[in-house]
Structure 1
Amino acid sequence: MRHPLAHALRWSAVGVLTAGLMCTGLTASAVAAPGSPPDPALSTPGLPPPAPASPPAPASTTADGLALTPPMGFNNWNSTHCRAEFNETMVEGIADLLVAKGLKDAGYRYVNLDDCWALPERDADGRLVPDPVRFPHGIKAVADYVHGKGLKLGIYTSAGTKTCDTAGFPGALGHESSDARQFADWGVDYLKYDNCNNQGQDARQRYTAMRDALRATGRPIVYSICEWGQNRPWEWAPALGQLWRTTGDIGDSWGSMLSILKKNLPLAAYAGPGHWNDPDMLEVGNGGMTDTEYRTHFSMWSMMAAPLLVGSDLRKGSQATFDILGNREVIAVDQDPLGRQGTVVSSSGGRWVVVKPMKDGSRVVALFNETGGAQRIATDASALGLPGTAGYTLRDLWQHRGYNTAGTVAATVPAHGTVLLRVTADRRWAAHPPAVEPGLDGDPLAVAGRTVPLTSTAADLGRTTARQVSVSLSGPEGWTVRAASPRTARALRTGRTLRTSWELSAPPGTPTGSYGLTLRVDYRAPSGVRADSTLPVTATVVVPPPPGESFLSDLPWVSAANGFGPAERDRSNGESAAGDGHPLTVGGTVYAKGLGVHAESELAYYTGGACDRVTADVGVDDEKGGHGTVAFEILADGRRAAGTGVLTNTMPAAPLSADVSGAHVVRLVVTDGGDGIDSDHADWADARLRCRSAS
C-alpha cells in the first residue's frame, strides 16, 4: 500500500481508493509531520509481544456511560468512498436493512457517515454546510429518520484544516466548539475524528480540544479518535474518547487484515469498558476475501473486543455476508460486558491460539490458522485459565453445537480459517455428546487421473465414549473416493483415534484448481443421542512441474494470498487490478522475469517431490521511492528452507537460494519488516525452479 509520506492516491478499475496510514484518504497536503514513529515490536510477524500487564491508566471515560461494550453499526467509507452513491437515500436504506435483516436486534446501532458529506466551504458564519445534492434534506433530517428506526447517527470530520479526501472538505481544527454544537443540534450520536491536515499540532491537544467541545454540548456523543496509532493513543486516549484507531486503514485483502490483526493483538491490556482499541472497520462482504477469511476477520475482531462497524454495502450483501455479520454467538464474544480483549496463548508456525475471558467465567478460544494449508491446532483447558474439573462444555460458535471434552481443545482448521469455541467448566458437560475431532493428514493434492492416498482421523476428545463411530469422505461428482481400511468402530474411548486410509482420484482431464471434499464423523453419545462432526476439505488438482529449470512466473501456483491486489507475473505489484504493475526493478536493476507481490504474501507451488532448488533475487521494488520493509522466506513442506533478514527499498537485490529436495509443496512467503505492510512491494526477481522428471 502506498506510504502516507508519498502523498499518492490511486483509484482502481472499480473505483476503490487506496492510500497509506489514514482513516479515509490523503491529499498532497494532507499529512503533517508524523508524531512518534510506530513501535516495530507491535507488528513483528508471529507471536506478538504481550502488552504491559499494567499499562499507564489515564482516567477512563466509563463515567459517561458511553460505549461500555464496543460500538456496533455501519460506516460507508470502505464500500463507497466519496462516490455519488453515498447519499441520503443510501444511508436511510442502510438503516432500513439493519432493522429488516435483524442486525439492529443483534446489536448494530450506529449508522455512520464518513467523509464527503459536506460542501468544500463553510458558510458566511463559519458553519458546516451539508452537500445539498447528497443530503437534500440536511443531516438533521437523516438523523431523525435513523432515530425513528431506533438507531443512532454518526458523522465524520478531521482534526485538521481539511478532511482526508482529495476534495479537501472543511476540517474542525480551530472550529471545534461550533462544529460540535452543530453536530449536537443535528442529533449526532457518534463522531469519527480523523488526522489529516493537522498542521503539525500536538495530537493530544487537538483531540482534547474536540473532547472538551463535545462535552460542552451536553449531548452524549461517542468519540472515535482516528489517529492511526501514530502517537500510541492507547496510552492517553482513554481519558479523551471511547475508542482509538491503533493502525492505518484496513484494505479488503487477507494480507492487510492479517497485518492489522498482528498490530492490534498485543494491545489487549489497554482495552476495557468505555475504552477500546480500534483496528478499523469490517471488510466482510466487500469481495476481496473468501467467506472463510471473512469468518476469520469477524471472529478475530470479536476476540479483540473491537468495534464492529460494517464496511460493506448491505444493499448488495449476500446471504453468506448476513450470516457472518448476524452470528449472535460470535457477537456475544465481542459484546461481553467484562470487556476483556483476547490475548495470545501461542502462535508457533502460524497456528494461533487466542483466549478471551468472559464474564460468566467461561473462555472463548480462537484456533486461527494463518497458513496456506490446513493445520491441526490444539490447546487445553489449563492453558486457557480454566479450573480443573471432570469435564468441560465445548460450544462451537460457528456450527452452533455443544460437546463435552476432557480438557483438550483442538480442531483441524482450514487455510486462513478460524474455529471459535466457548469452553465452560461446569457440571452440565455430561448433557452433551463427546467432542469427536475429524482430521486429515496433509492437504490433498491430486494429479488428474492418478490415485492419491489420504489418511483421515477421528479422535475422541470427550470425557465420555463415542459409540457406533462411522467416518465418510465425499468428493465432487465423478471423483473416486474409496476407503482402503476400516472406517467404523463400535466404540471410541477418550483419547483414542480411528485412522482410515483412503484412495482419491480426480477424473482424467479435470482442470487444475480447488475442489471441495467433506469429511464427516457420525456417532452416538452414551445416552444414544446421535451426533456428528464435519470438516470441509479442499482438494487441489495440480500439474507436475516440468523437468529442468523453469521460471516460476511461467508455472501455475496452487494458491496465492497477497496484501493488496493480485500477485503479478513478470510485473511489480500495482495494488489493484491484474496487470497494473511496472517492470520489476530492484536496486536499479530491471528484471524481465519474476513475481511481484505485496506483504503479507504467500505463493504455493506444487513440486511433487521432483525438484531440488529454488533461486531468486529478492528485494523491495524501486517504485516505492525509499519506503517499504519486507522479509522473504522459502518453505519446503512447511520447513524453512531459506530466508532473509529485513530488506528495505534502499538495498540492492539479495540472492536467495533454497534446497527443496523431496518437498511436495514449496511456498514463497513475504512478511512485513516489523512496521506494517505500507509500501511493501516485494519482488521475487528472476525466480527459478529446478526439477527432474516427475514420477
Structure 2
Amino acid sequence: MKDAMTGCMKHGWYVVLMICFALPAMAQHPDALILKEAAFTTGDSLQWASPGYSDQHWKRIKAGEVWQSQGFPDYHGYGWYRMKVVIPRSLKQQAAWKDSLRIYLAHVNDVDETWLNGVRIGQTGSFPHDIGGYVSKWPYIREYHIPAADKAIRWDAENVIAVRVFDGGGTGGIFMGTPYVDLLRKIDGIRLTLPEDQIIFSDKKTALPVRLTNLFNTTVKGTLRSDIFDLAAGKKISSHMQTMILTPESKGAFIMEAPHRAGIRLRYCFTETATGHQLKGELEVPYLQTPAPAPAPRINSAPVYGVSPGTPVIFKVAATGTAPLHYHASGLPEGLMIDSTNGVITGVIKQAGNYRIGVTVTNVLGVAAQSLLLKAGGTIALTPPMGWNSWNCWGLSVSEDKVKSSAQALLDKGLADHGWNYINVDDGWQQPQRAADSSILPNGKFPDMKGLGDWLHSRGLKFGMYSSPGPLTCGGFLGSYRNEEKDAATYANWGIDYLKYDWCSYDQVMPADTSLETFIHPFRVMQQAIRKYPRDIVYNLCQYGLREVWKWGPQVDAQTWRTTEDIDDTWESMAGIGFGQYPLEKYARPGNWNDPDMMIVGQVGWGENLHPTRLTPDEQYTHVSLWSLLAAPLLIGCDISRIDTFTLNLLTNDEVLAIDQDTLGVAAGRRIATAHYEVWVKPLADGSKAIGIFNKDRQYRHLTVPWKDINLSAKPRVRNVWTQRDLGVIPVAYTVDVPPHGVVLLRCSE
C-alpha cells in the first residue's frame, strides 16, 4: 500500500496502482480529459497495444459500462479497449504540482494490463497464462500514475491508451465510472476517515476519531475545518479548525464529539496552503439503535428446524443472557442429545415425523423456554440460512486460519447466540491438480478440510463449501466439471453442510443448444450426486438469475438461488439489487429462498486491503432491513475478528432477524413505490406484519403511509423493530421522518 502511493514520486517507475476501494480515488480535476468512448473488440493479441494499430473495424462503446450491456451479452474471456486522447502541454504547464500524470480507468472486471503509446504501464490481477494462474481483482479501482517527465507521454499529440481485460465470469470490462486523464495535485494524496473500530458510543454522545492521512511522499501543509451538522434539524452543531503539517506518508488525528442519534454528519474541508486546492467531503456518523441484550436468558433460534431422517443433526440453540447458561431439551427423539453447556443438539433421527421439543435455557436470573418443532421429513432450510462467507473479505486469499478466526469470533462476539451458524469457505481452496483417482484436493492453505469441518461441528457451527459446474471456478481454481460424483463423495466425507455452486466457466463447455434444460443440466448433475450421501447439504445455485432460476430451482432440489449479479459495497449496487427483487416474492417459501447475494457490512475487501464498507450507517440499516423482509439468506461478508461496535450492533437485533427467520416463510412484497420512497410489507406467522418504509432520496423525507394503502387495519398496534420500542395504537396512518437512504422498520398487529 505504501509503495503504491509513493511510486508516483519515484521517477524510476513507469507507473503504480493507486489505492483501491479502501480509499476511493479523488474526482477528476476541472481540466481533466474525459475518455467517454473506446474502440473495443473481443479476443487477444498484443499487437493491439501498439499506437500504430488500426482499430477502425472495432466497435465503439462507452468506456465506463460493462461490455455485456453493449452488444456482448454472453461473452467472457479477453477483450481490448483502445482510447485516444490529445494531452495538451498546457495541462502540465498550468499545474501547481508538475509531478505525475494520472490515468483513471474506474473499475475493471476482472484483470487488466494497460499500455500508454505501446509502453506497458501496469497490471492489476493475473491472467490465466500468468505464473500462478488467474487472479481476479474486480473490486479494485484502476488508477495509474506516470511521471510527468516520462517519454511515454506525447504532449500536444494523440496518445493511445490500450487496456487488455480478462473476464472470468459475470460482467466484464471497465465499469462504475468514466475514465479520464489529468495531472495529480498534492491534495489527491490526502484522505480523511473515521476509523469505525475506534468510535466510542455513549447514551448521548459519540466520540469521533477524525484521522487525516497523507499518502504521498511529500509534505503537505493546510487547514482542516470540520463541522458537525444535524441534517434533520438543518443546523450546524459545532466546528473545529486546525492547521496541520502532514509530513510524507504521515497521519494526523483528533477527537470530535457529536450527538448520538440519526442524521448527524461530519462535513470537512482541507485547504492546502500553497495552492488553495481543497478536499471536501461528508461522512455520516454511525449511531446505535439495537438495545443491548438483557441479562436474563432469551432464546433466539427460529422455532422450526428441518432435517432428513438418517442424516447427522447439528443444531445450536441460540440464546443470550449472562453466562453461564445451561441448556435442557425435553421430548428429544431417539438418537438425539443436547450438550447442556453450549446448547448443541447432535445425533441422528431414524424415523420421519414431526417432533415437538421443549427447550429451556437458564442462568442465575431466570429461565427462557421455547417450543422447537423438529421436522424430520424431506425439506431442509425451513428458514433462510444465516452465517458467514469468506468471499467479501478474503476473496482468493482465504485460508484455514482466516476461516477459524472468523468462526471463533462468531462465537466469542456472540453472533452465534443470535442464530448465525454457517461458516462457508468460498473460492480459492483447491489444488491445481486432482489426485490420481480424480478426487479434489485442498491446497496448502487448508491442510485438513475434514479436521476443519470437525472443529466447526464440535462448536455447533455448519460447514460450507464452494465449487463450479465448469472446469474452473470464477477465481481460476478447479471446478467440478465431469467430476461431480467424486466431489460429492469428498464433500460428504469432509462433513459439508452447504454447497455454493457457481456458474463461472460452465458457459465455455455447455452445448450450443441454449434451451432451458441446457442451463438446468449441470445443476441437476450435482444435485443427484450430493443427494446420494446421508447428509443435509443446503444447495445454493449461484448463477446470477440466468433463465429465471427462481422458477426452476426447486426442480434440482436447490434451497437457495442467486437472483442477481455480484453485489458490492455501494448504494447503487445494494439498492439496485434489493429493491430489484420485486416481484420475486412469490417464489420464496420454506425450503426455497431467493438469494440477493451476501451482506456488505463491516470490513470488506475481496482479498486484500480490507476497508470499512462504503455504505453509510443508514444505508446499512436499509440493507439489513430489506434483506430480512425479503426472507433472504443472511451471510455476513466481513472479517468478524475485526468487527466494530456499530456492525455488531447492526447484526444482533433479534427482532429484525426474527423477521427474516419467520416460520411462515413469506417474502415481503412492494406495496408503495415512488421516485422518492418505497414501502414493503411482509406477513408473519403470528398474524402481524413487518413493514419497511425506505427513503431512496439523499435528503430527509417527511413521509406519511396510510394504513389502507398497505391493507392494514385502521388502528394497528405498532412497534419500532430497530429500537425495540412499542409506539402504541396509531390510527389511520403513520408519519415519520426517514433519514437519507434510510429505513423505518415496523411490526404491526391488528
Q: What is the TM-score of this pair, normalised by structure 2? A: 0.49
The 1:75/1:2 distance shift into structure 2, 3 A limit, reads farther
Which residue of the other structure, out of 709, 715, 721, is the alignment partner of 1:383?
709
Q: 1:270 aligns with which of 564, 571, 587?
A: 587
Q: CA deviation at 1:33?
A: 12
Query: How far apart in 1 are the matches of 2:482 and 2:124?
Result: 38
State the 1:94 CA deviation.
Answer: 1.4
Partner amino acid, structure 2, of 1:102: G
Deviation per CA, 1:605-629, whole angstroms, max 9, x where unpaired?
A: xxxxxxxxxxxxxxxxxxxxxxxxx
Alignment of structure 1 residues 51-90 onto 2, 5 Å = 64-83=378-397, 86-90=398-402
Contact kept in structure 2, 1:2 and 1:19, CA below 8 Å? no
Quick one: distance in 2 between partners of 1:117 and 1:13?
22
**Where does residue 427 of structure 2 map in the other structure?**
115
Partner amino acid, structure 1, of 2:577: I
Deviation at 1:387, TM superposition (A): 3.8
Q: What does residue 393 of structure 1 align with? A: 717
Structure 1: which amino acid aligns with 2:499?
Answer: L
Residue in 2 aligned with 1:135? 446
Percent of aligned pairs sharing the same letter: 37
* Match of residue 748 from structure 2: 423
Q: Is 1:251 matched up with 2:577?
A: no
Q: How does 1:297-336 map to 2 (within 5 A)?
A: 297-336=623-662
Question: In structure 2, how many angstroms separate the alpha carbons of the residues matched to 1:191 and 1:19?
Answer: 24
Once the 2 structures are TM-superposed, how far is the Cα of residue 99 of structure 1 from its aligned partner? 1.4
Determine the structure 1 residue equivalent to 2:281: none
Q: Find the aligned partners of 2:439 and 2:67 in 1 and give their Cα distance.
A: 33
Mapped pair 1:177 → 2:485: yes
In structure 2, relative to structure 1, the CA distance for the partners of 1:28 and 1:123 (3 Å cut) is: farther
Q: Distance in 2 between matches of 1:251 and 1:3?
A: 18
Question: What does residue range 150-169 of structure 1 map to in structure 2 within 5 Å?
Answer: 150-165=460-475, 168-169=476-477
1:206 correspondence with 2:525: no
Superposed CA deviations along residues 178-237 of structure 1, whole A, max 9, x for unmatched, are 101100110000000000111125220110111111111121100000011011101100
Instruction: Give the Å deviation of 1:13.
Output: 9.0
Aligned match of 1:196: 504
Which of these residues, 395, 402, 407, is aligned with residue 95 of structure 1?
407
Distance in 1, matches of 2:670 and 2:654, equals 23
1:96–1:149 CA contact under 8 A, matched in 2: no
Structure 2: state its 5+ residue gaps: 1-64, 69-74, 78-108, 113-122, 126-134, 141-164, 173-307, 309-374, 512-517, 604-612
* Separation (CA, whole Å) in 1 of partners of 2:643 and 2:168: 33
* Distance in structure 1 (CA, Å) of the matches to 2:408 and 2:742: 32
* 1:587-606 alignment runs, 5 A limit: none
Deviation at residue 392 of structure 1 after TM alignment = 2.3
Q: Structure 2 vs 1, CA of residues 217 and 342 (structure 1 numbering), >3 Å: closer, same or farther?
A: same
Q: Distance in 2 between matches of 1:398 and 1:209?
A: 43
Do the aligned residues in 2 keep the contact of 1:228 with 1:245 (CA within 8 Å)? yes
Aligned equivalents of 1:392, 1:196: Cα separation in 2: 48
- Would you say how many aligned residue pairs link Structure 1 and Structure 2? 386
CA contact (8 A) 2:170 2:565 kept: no
Query: What secondary structure, in the 3-state scheme, does the structure 2 residue paired with 1:366 have?
Result: strand
Which residue of the partner structure matches residue 616 of structure 1? none
State how far apart, in whole Å, the 2-side matches of 1:299 and 1:29 are: 33
C-alpha RMSD over aligned residues? 2.6
Q: Is the 8 A contact 1:369 1:415 kept in 2?
A: yes
SS of 1:64's equivalent in the other structure is coil
Q: Report the secondary structure of 1:191's partner residue.
A: strand
Indicate the structure whose relative CO is greater, using CA pairs within 8 Å and at least 6 residues apart.
1
Could you tell me which of 107, 110, 121 is aligned with 1:9? Answer: 110
In the other structure, the counterpart of 1:446 is: none
Distance in 2 between the 1:397 and 1:186 partners?
40
Q: What is the CA-CA distance between 1:381 and the residue it aligns to?
A: 3.0
**Distance in 1 separating the partners of 2:547 and 2:427:** 23
SS of corresponding position for 2:582: helix
Equivalent position of 1:233 in the other structure: 549
Aligned-partner Cα distance in 2 for 1:70–1:400 = 22
Taking a change above 3 Å as real, the CA distance of residues 10 and 252 of structure 1, as seen in their structure-2 partners, is: farther
The counterpart of 2:597, out of the listed 257, 271, 280, is 280
The unaligned stretches of length 5 or more in structure 1 are: 21-26, 35-60, 426-695
Deviation for aligned residue 1:384: 3.0
**Which amino acid letter does the alignment assign opposite residue 566 of structure 2?**
D
Check 1:274–1:192 CA distance in 2 against 1; reply closer, same or farther (3 A cut).
same
The answer to whether the aligner puts 1:124 opposite 2:431 as a matched pair is no
User: Is this contact kept in 1: 2:691–2:745, CA < 8 A?
Assistant: yes
Matched residues in 2 for 1:213 and 1:78: separation? 28
> Which digits, 9 at most, give the CA deviation of each residue in 1:340-381, with x for residues without a partner?
111111111221111011011111110001111111222233
Alignment check: 8 A CA contact 1:33 1:200 kept: no
Matched, 1:373 2:699: yes
Distance 1:384 1:191, change over 3 A: same
Residue identity in the other structure for 1:397: V
CA distance, structure 2, for counterparts of residue 30 and residue 161 of structure 1: 12
Matches within 5 A, 1:210-229: 210-229=526-545
Q: Which amino acid aligns with 2:702?
A: R
Listed one character per residue, the Cα deviations across residues 464-484 of structure 1 (whole Å, up to 9, x for unaligned) are xxxxxxxxxxxxxxxxxxxxx
Once the two structures are TM-superposed, the CA of residue 149 in structure 1 deviates from its matched residue by 1.0
> What does the per-residue CA deviation read over 1:275-314, in whole Å, with 9 as the maximum and x for residues that have no partner?
0000000001132111111111011000100000001111
**8 Å Cα contact 2:67/2:171 also seen in 1:** no
Shift of 1:129: 0.8
Q: Does 1:260 align with 2:549?
A: no
Say whether the 8 Å CA contact 2:110–2:136 is kept in structure 1. Answer: no
How far apart, CA to CA, are the structure 2 residues paired with 1:330 and 1:365? 11
Aligned-partner SS, 1:264: coil
Question: In structure 2, the residue corresponding to 1:382 is in which secondary structure?
Answer: helix
Give 2:40's aligned residue.
none
Matches of 1:403 and 1:174, distance apart in 2:
58
Please tell me whether the aligned partners of residues 176 and 213 of structure 1 are also in contact (alpha carbons under 8 angstroms).
yes
CA distance in 2, matches of 1:2, 1:288: 21
Pick closer, same or farther for the CA change 1:418–1:2 going to 2, 3 Å: same
Runs of at least 4 residues off by over 6 Å: 11-16
Amino acid at match of 1:237: G
Distance (Å, rounded) in 1 between the aligned partners of 2:639 and 2:136: 13
Summarize deviations over 1:143-163 as a string: whole Å, max 9, x none. Answer: 011111101000000011111
- TM-score w.r.t. length of structure 1: 0.53
Find the counterpart in structure 1 of residue 616 from structure 2.
290
1:18 maps to what in 2? 138
- 1:459-608 aligned at under 5 Å gives the runs none
CA distance in 2, matches of 1:32, 1:338: 33
- SS of 1:274 mapped into structure 2: coil
Q: Distance in 1 between matches of 2:490 and 2:549?
A: 26
Partner residue in 1 for 2:58: none
Give the distance between the partners of 1:108 and 1:318, measured in 2 at CA.
Answer: 17
Q: 1:146 aligns with which of 456, 463, 473?
A: 456
Matched-pair contact (CA < 8 Å) for 2:440–2:486:
no
Distance (whole Å) between structure 2 residues aligned to residue 31 and residue 152 of structure 1: 28
SS of the equivalent of 2:698 reads: coil
Q: Is the 8 A contact 2:111 2:166 kept in 1?
A: no
Secondary structure at the counterpart of residue 331 of structure 1: helix
